Structure 1
Amino acid sequence: MKTVLSIAKRNAVLSSMAILLEQERANLKAVNQQDLTNYSGDDLAMEKRLLVDDAKIDGMILSLQQLTSQEDPVGKVRFDFTHENGMKISNKTAAFGTILIIYESRPDVTVEAGGIAFKSGNKILLKGGKESLLSNLKIVNLWHQALKDNDVASSWVEYLNYDRAETQAFLENPTQKVDLIVPRGGEQLIAFTKKHATCPVIVSGRGNNFVYVNQEADLEKALAIIINGKTSNISVCNALDKVLIDTNLPNWEAFANELVSKLKTFNVTILGDDAFAKATQIPVIENDLIWFEEFLDYKIVIGTTQSDEEAITKINKYCGGHSASIITENNEIAQQFMDNVDTAAVYHNASTRFTDGGQFGLGGELAISTDKLHQRGPIGLQHLVTNKWYVYGQGQIR
């Protein structure tokens, strides 16, 4: 059984890891180039997530530095009560124990998610994808060095180099106690994990985010927000996939054509519902099932609605429960939209690309949960804890 490491030890390991990443920057990039060379797939989003460049390493180091400076999330008193018989009762945050993180293609998760889980007092099991194996093993070696340098057992961070069959066997019959599993990746990975896991799973990562252009929208804002959401990074779960335009918007067809023109300059494939396709001469969608899809590509579907209520209903039916944004100058309508759309993050006149632990002031994230238990949206350091009741008595019996 592992006792929770002191906060001083946890912070020392994170600081050492940040220094090691800087020292090993060139070697890590060289190892990652081998992974990129070995990658034979044609998934552009996967390839972008696989790349480790200077900007990615800077992000890893910053994440560790921010984590080191944050308060210990373990042992926070959440509730205090004195029983009429004199017992002192309190509820405090506690580490989960062991957290398994299953992910595809992103070596930075080995640092950032691992760091958040470790700072929260947990043992970390990492199961990365085969396409990033060399990069992940290099980073785990750095974790082990950071642990060793601070007289902490290397077993606190463990890499599971398993194929699909071995992963399934471990999920169904773990060879060690696992308290929480976080799958980070596509819908197939999440479905596979949920199907076979024997402990709680936090569902993370599916986007299919919507922007709704209300009839009182500022169209310059709308264009900028849609272009940013769709094209700034196609490989992330907070990217934009769907746009709805209120046909009560004055001259909505002119706006629709301007939007199509702008998106085409970024080589985005555009599909529309009947009304939008007719107004812009773009291809019409084959059927409504496409509204459920997350693309992770330069692809977008744009449709029309005739009311705010219709937009809210459509978003709640098709979205992934991640993020949705309304573009309007009417604050009352915006608030109504935000209160009634059932997503983890709702926006007024801003890009869905901000749904991110670092952008929300959490100092990074373990994942973005589209579940409602136990935490929704970006899961930061302060959310990666369970709780425990402490009861102090002097011989009381009931």
Structure 2
Amino acid sequence: MNLLTTDIKNKVLDNVMQLLDERRAEILKANQKDLDAFTKDDKAMYDRLVVNDKKVDGMIQAVREVQQKDDPVGKVISEVDRNDGLRIINKTAPFGTIMIIYESRPDVTVEAAVLAFKANNKILLKGGKEAIHSNEALVDIWHEALRMNGLSEDYVKLLKLKREETQAFLKNPTEPIDLIVPRGGERLIQFVKEHSSCPVLVSGRGNNFIYVDHTADWEQSIKVILNAKTDKISACNALDKILLDKRIPDLDKKLVHLQKALHEFEVELLVDQQVKEILNNEAVIENEDTWYEEFLALKACVALVSDEMEAIEKINKYSGGHSSAIMTTDQRKAETFMEQVDSGAVYHNASTRFTDGGQMGVGAELAISTDKLHHRGPLGLEQLVTNKYYVYGQGHVRV
């Protein structure tokens, strides 16, 4: 693949922003077709499907932010000058072709494409059938911007494949694929990992935990829990599991307070046997599988633990490795928790809702990686490159 200059890449992005604004009515009309066809049974997916003027503004802003960032390709990582005169330079380089498989969210179509393109990659977009009209309109804008600058439409491709066709494509791609990113729930991730013959970087599974220590500021804890659980239930950084220290003063009263606060937002509670003794009208967690589940709904588990070490053990066993938080006034205890919890983002006295490229200073993101190779956390522009060694000699041979 040819390396494009930063100037030509930024000109394409100028045109993408212009066209997103000019063709706004067309985008909203296409999205309305998708909304009309959706059954609304899955509230979280419906919320992700909606495109309005604010969402279009967000797409434009995402493109602008990426355009303003330095080109990630060709940056020098290291330089070595050997005693024998051999010079070795390690530089960043494009992956090549990235495939992203995602559900519902049309804004991902723009964000994924802008990140891949600025990093000089081609991208294959496999969106869900529920967003087909929205995605077609957005990819058409990309194609027009590419044509306006004399570039091939192949930099951004929309794949319209049914499930069986996707399975076949993953096993035997019709073109080389260097990285696949499944962005969605556990079933989607497992489907891709099972059928893919290419490297897969897992993204999207949340199942996030918060532990409230007995030294925590209780009012602050309630505020953080409500934000993490109810601010956006369709987000992978939303809260699912709440662990409370048994030593919390006036535990019974505080459990009732927590119950009332969550019920005001219509959150369904599932509780362990110890909490059931106090909140006796709540359903008990009967199946261990529930602890592994990402809800993406107004639902949360509440359980008691003896201390932060038991909380850490439980989180590391059941969580998706996405985001975990501790509420405590004990700085040393917070450090222990944050060092020992195996999550991509760990929080002290803050909501898990901040695990987001824009909030963390990364900017637009391709996904939130819960893998450890090659990157963990928000996949921004700088994470969409690999590296290459440039070795300069004068007839050097190894002896």
The answer to whether the superposition gives a TM-score over 0.5 is yes
| 1:121 CA drift (Å) | 0.7
What residue number does 1:84 align with?
83
Q: In the TM superposition, what are the counterparts of 1:107-122 in structure 2 within 5 Å?
A: 107-122=106-121
Structure 2 Cα separation of the partners of residues 256 and 387 of structure 1? 52
The residue that corresponds to 1:378 in the other structure is 378
Q: What secondary structure does 2:167 align onto? A: helix
Aligned residue for 2:58? 59
Q: Which residue does 2:293 correspond to in 1?
A: 293
| Matches of 1:41 and 1:192, distance apart in 2 | 24
CA distance in 1, matches of 2:325, 2:289: 21
Q: Which residue is equivalent to 1:339? A: 339
What amino acid does structure 2 have at the position aligned with 1:273? D
Q: Which amino acid aligns with 1:319?
A: S
Question: Aligned equivalents of 1:172 and 1:161: distance in 2?
Answer: 17
Cross-structure match for 2:361: 361
1:318 is matched with: 318
Q: How far off is 1:221 after superposition?
A: 1.0
Deviations 1:270-291 (A, max 9, x none): 1110111211222211122211
- Write the distance in 2 (CA, Å) between the matches of 1:21 and 1:135: 12
- 1:241 aligns with 240
Structure 2 residue aligned with 1:206: 205
Whole-angstrom CA distance in 1 between matches of 2:128 and 2:40: 13
The letter of the residue matching 2:384 is L
Q: Are 1:144 and 2:157 matched, yes or no?
A: no
Query: Contact between 1:241 and 1:294, CA under 8 Å: does it hold in 2?
Result: yes
Q: Distance in 2 between matches of 1:279 and 1:352?
A: 27
Q: Distance in 2 between matches of 1:324 and 1:277?
A: 24
Matches of 1:304 and 1:32, distance apart in 2 = 44
Q: Distance in 2 between matches of 1:222 and 1:383?
A: 33
Q: How does 1:86-105 map to 2 (within 5 A)?
A: 86-105=85-104
TM-score (normalised: structure 1): 0.98
Contact 1:366 1:378 in 2 (8 A): yes
Contact 1:315 1:341 in 2 (8 A): yes
Partner of 1:126: 125
More moved, 21-30 vs 382-391 = 21-30
| Cα deviation digits, residues 313-337 of structure 1 (max 9, x gap) | 0111110000000001111110110
Q: Distance in 2 between matches of 1:392 and 1:186?
A: 46
- Deviations 1:253-283 (Å, cap 9, x if unpaired)? 2111101101111111011101112112222
**Identity across matched positions, percent:** 53
Q: Match for 2:284: what amino acid? A: V
SS in 2 for 1:280: coil
2:153 matched to 1:154?
yes
List gaps (5 residues or longer) in structure 2. none
Q: TM-score, normalised by structure 2?
A: 0.98
Corresponding residue for 2:68? 69
1:4/1:122 contact within 8 Å kept: no
Query: Could you tell me which residue of structure 2 aligns to residue 251 of structure 1?
Result: 250
* 1:124 partner SS: strand
Cα offset for 1:41?
A: 5.0
Query: Which residue identity lines up with residue 9 of structure 1 in the other structure?
Result: I
Q: Please give the secondary structure, in 2, of the residue aligned with 1:261.
A: helix
Residue pairs, 1:156-195, within 5 angstroms: 156-195=155-194
SS state of the match for residue 31, structure 1?
Answer: helix
Task: Give the secondary-structure state (helix, strand or coil) at the position aligned to 1:397.
Answer: coil
